Chains A and B, each alone.
Chain A
């Protein structure tokens, strides 16, 4: 890096206001060409807003954006693409019914007089995949791809447009460790070829591992720029939140004797007639957290939705001695089963509805919140205010629509809604996915409190540290079966990874 080369991206004095919020103020950022530059910060620190500014998705209220030394006034992503900037969004921007090829070429199709030249697109993409070291079947519909593969499609999409500055918005949030390593290898290869990578994350270990430079954001502005060699995890966390990094702590209470949730020989048949959950048998005792590790798509989702009755299944589910195997979702809920869903946008929230309506969901028939057929709006609102206070949801009040909240705050509301009823059994699927360290610590604390109060918790997570730290018993799912039961005190992520990918088989403990 010679000093005469202008930085690939230079942002100076950026301000961005939204109604009622200052999302970015006085942001300054300089990214050198050919480096991986990490931007870290809690959710709501303004990272995504800043990247949207850089990608032309909105215009800053003040400040300058310079790309390769030239001042830019980008009005749309098209301008950013033309300037060589590409973005891999946190929520993938893919058309599920389109093939990989169609998704990649959309908007930049090679064509003769408007007719798509599929052959030349195919040649170019095969060549591109070879240089990047990625393999994908170009004709597969994206709906059939796993999360890691979808991300590769997103990256190819960006590179296909000739981007030499690639922004990745929390790329590792949805990946398992092995996929993360592959992603980092790909990024390293890109940087060696001269591409500049801007990498947004709040996973500090990854940031320290992969980046060449780190910029920390807090409360809408940039607070520090450091080199990874000059700082450790604790120091970075302190810059980010101004406090110590929380870890899942050990337990002080004992696991109860009674089985509160008993699952026996549970099997679920998938849409294609194949068994997606095969003969699952396990129990969760009072005050116990049973963790389920596994690469996404190995039956965890089907298992959880079968337990709460959303999906037909064979086998037995017993809660506190009541056989609820054939009960409706409503009855299971009333029997004390609560659920924190996998995807908060799809399954947990009505994004366009107010927080109190969301807080009411699933509890609308409970006597405290309703009178006969009528909902008691006052009680519903005050109950939601309780959730907001107790779980630290950052929001002006309970009447704002759910979409106005950041992901972490949405998740806190969802977790709070499931836990405020003090359920007998809690199915918690990715309770801290995509939320910042502060919120994560709060959710962990709540899970531990519920456990200590005697709740039986089934925890599904992609975060192995979380699983190992919180679980009392750890099950691994692979290909629909419970492939192993391990002792969380005596297992490493590497060993778990072996079971999760099917490389190691058999029970250990």
Chain B
């Protein structure tokens, strides 16, 4: 599509971001802001949200709201853990996809075949998945070593990770190549050190599953905007009557879209149960399905945008994880983000936005300079707060599929 036209803007945003963070890091000595540890954690935490966001995107592009992503992810965690425990991690991921597709299929049948309200169907799937996997655990996990009603037995093997040779000390044959980025990062030079840290985080100890998830972003974009299938699929979300009048089988593409949506959600769940940890645990998804929906809106219903939104959440969670006690650094992050929003507000001559963002900067800086310790319960919620701040300040002209969430009956054109 217009990826090439958008490229320069993305590059500009990234450059501004890196420079700002670099300035703040050297100024405050808060090294975790751009350390490879933080970025590596960011990547791991981004992937499930990214997959949830893509799940939402595939469903809404076809014209159906999918509130049930959380439930489909729960199915993914359970089936993924079960498959990985029995047959190994890769088969586990396939099981996770299958589990998610069961959820997607239920949503499709209830909303398309029986015309049940899309929101209600989604909510029911969330509840059904939650209690359904407890029942399945009762059958499969209770009585197994370390297994129980809310937990699966641990998996014996994991999905491999890789380091990129020369950049991050990857091995070629038996020889370990130099870790160039690691060396640069240790020097901590202004900007160079930050770029090296970020790049190393993205190239060191990366799970093959993460790589697959990232590849799904351009793949989704390519399928949706370059193929016949994608055009017909999107037409169902934009104007199903026109699509039908041109011979597109709207009902069929809606089923297909929801099955794909379920597959993405299931894979996201499987990632949590197989890559992020090595067993299924109740509550593992922790609302990521809903955060995924938020990133879909933030990303303007486009795959690259979803990636951006998921990365924001992944980063704030990663920072919390790595920074540990020095969690007050997150206030700094909030201040940076708000400052960027204030600058763009100035550029676009939007006074109200500039003032709002400036107020956030002031509050966040005050908190950073005065607060030494943050209660545990509050740090848990910080990533959500940050995500809200970012989603709120990054106002943009959104273009949702015109008919997302509107039920369609064939021949309903008047």
**Stretch of B132-140, B245-253, B388-396 contacting A (4+ beta carbons < 8 Å):** B245-253
Smallest CB separation, A109 vs chain B (Å): 5
Partner of A109, one of B231, B241, B242: B231
A106 near B227 with CB under 8 A, answer no
Residues of A within 8 A of B234 (CB): 95, 98
Of B238, B243, B401, B402, most buried by chain A (CB within 10 Å of CB) is B238
Scan residues 96-135 of chain A and give those whose CB is less than 8 A from a CB of chain B: 96-98, 102-103, 105-109, 111, 114-116
Complex CA gap A114/B231 in Å reads 10
A106 near B411 with CB under 8 A, answer no
In chain A, what residue has the closest Cβ to B236?
A95
Q: Does A333 contact B (CB under 8 A)?
A: no
Smallest CB separation, B410 vs chain A (Å): 9
A116 near B228 with CB under 8 A, answer yes
A57 near B411 with CB under 8 A, answer yes
Complex CA gap A103/B242 in Å reads 9
A76 near B227 with CB under 8 A, answer no
A106 near B235 with CB under 8 A, answer yes
Complex CA gap A298/B232 in Å reads 34
Complex CA gap A58/B245 in Å reads 12
A58 near B411 with CB under 8 A, answer yes
Of B241, B242, B243, B414, most buried by chain A (CB within 10 Å of CB) is B242
Residues of B within 8 A of A57 (CB): 245, 411, 413
Residues of B within 8 A of A403 (CB): 414
Contacts across chains A and B counted by CB atoms under 8 Å: 79
A97 near B401 with CB under 8 A, answer yes
**A95-B238, A96-B402, A97-B399 known; A102 and B231 CB under 8 Å?**
yes
**A57-B411, A107-B248, A108-B246 known; A97 and B402 CB under 8 Å?**
yes
Q: Does B179 contact A (CB under 8 A)?
A: no
**A98-B235, A106-B231, A157-B246 known; A93 and B241 CB under 8 Å?**
yes
Of B232, B245, B413, most buried by chain A (CB within 10 Å of CB) is B245
Q: Does A424 contact B (CB under 8 A)?
A: no
Complex CA gap A446/B228 in Å reads 52
Partner of B232, one of A81, A94, A106: A106
A107 near B238 with CB under 8 A, answer no
B402 near A95 with CB under 8 A, answer yes
Complex CA gap A58/B411 in Å reads 8
B245 near A96 with CB under 8 A, answer no
Smallest CB separation, B239 vs chain A (Å): 4
- Chain A 285-300, CB within 8 Å of chain B: the 1/0 string? 0000000000000000
Residues of B within 8 A of A95 (CB): 234-235, 238-239, 242-243, 402
Number of B residues near A (Cβ < 8 Å) is 24
Of A57, A95, A114, A116, most buried by chain B (CB within 10 Å of CB) is A95
B238 near A111 with CB under 8 A, answer no
In chain B, what residue has the closest Cβ to A139?
B2
B413 near A107 with CB under 8 A, answer no
A115 near B226 with CB under 8 A, answer yes
B411 near A78 with CB under 8 A, answer no
Scan residues 55-104 of chain A and give those whose CB is less than 8 A from a CB of chain B: 57-58, 76-78, 81, 87, 89, 91, 93-98, 102-103
Residues of A within 8 A of B247 (CB): 76-78, 81, 107-108
Residues of A within 8 A of B402 (CB): 95-97
Of A87, A97, A98, A108, most buried by chain B (CB within 10 Å of CB) is A97
Complex CA gap A77/B414 in Å reads 15
Q: Does B244 contact A (CB under 8 A)?
A: yes
Smallest CB separation, A120 vs chain B (Å): 13
Smallest CB separation, A363 vs chain B (Å): 26
Complex CA gap A335/B358 in Å reads 43
Residues of B within 8 A of A97 (CB): 238, 399, 401-402
19 examples of A-B residue contacts, CB within 8 angstroms: A58-B411, A77-B244, A77-B245, A77-B247, A81-B247, A89-B245, A91-B413, A93-B245, A94-B242, A95-B235, A98-B235, A106-B242, A107-B235, A107-B243, A109-B228, A114-B228, A114-B229, A115-B227, A116-B227
B residues in contact (CB < 8 Å) with A: 226-229, 231-232, 234-235, 238-239, 241-248, 399, 401-402, 411, 413-414
Please provide the 9 A-B residue pairs with the shortest distance between their CB atoms, ordered closest to farther: A107-B246, A78-B247, A95-B238, A93-B242, A95-B239, A109-B228, A111-B228, A107-B247, A107-B248
Known interface pairs A94-B242, A96-B239, A114-B227; 17 further A-B residue pairs with C-beta atoms within 8 A, sorted by A's residue number: A57-B245, A77-B246, A81-B246, A93-B242, A95-B239, A95-B242, A96-B238, A97-B399, A98-B239, A102-B231, A106-B242, A106-B248, A107-B232, A108-B246, A111-B228, A115-B228, A161-B246
